[in-house]
Amino acid sequence: MKLEKFVMWSVKAREVAAVVHRLKTDLHNCVGYIQDPKLLKDSIKAMYHKHVHEDTVNDKPESPHLRSHRPL
């Protein structure tokens, strides 16, 4: 039972690491367009549509505690 949980946690950790790596790579590619605002905007939009799905968007307001710890 504990081994199964560890394996599941390990798989989930690898999946999350892969997603973070893809986000960083895509963001790095977007930064290449910093001198061209139109291309930068288009690449950010494409990145948003690639990585953000309707079922993951949270429309609930943040709690004041979470908001106070977010960097400005």
pLDDT band at 7 (very low <50, low <70, confident <90, very high): confident
The rounded distance, in Å, linking the Cα atoms of 11 and 36 is 39
Domains of the chain by residue range: 23-47
The yes-or-no verdict on residue 64 having pLDDT over 70 is no
The rounded distance, in Å, linking the Cα atoms of 34 and 39 is 8
pLDDT band at 26 (very low <50, low <70, confident <90, very high): very high
The rounded distance, in Å, linking the Cα atoms of 67 and 71 is 9
52: number of Cβ within 10 Å: 10
Which of 12, 30, 33 shows the shortest CA–CA distance to 22?
30
The yes-or-no verdict on residue 50 having pLDDT over 70 is yes
pTM comes to 0.62
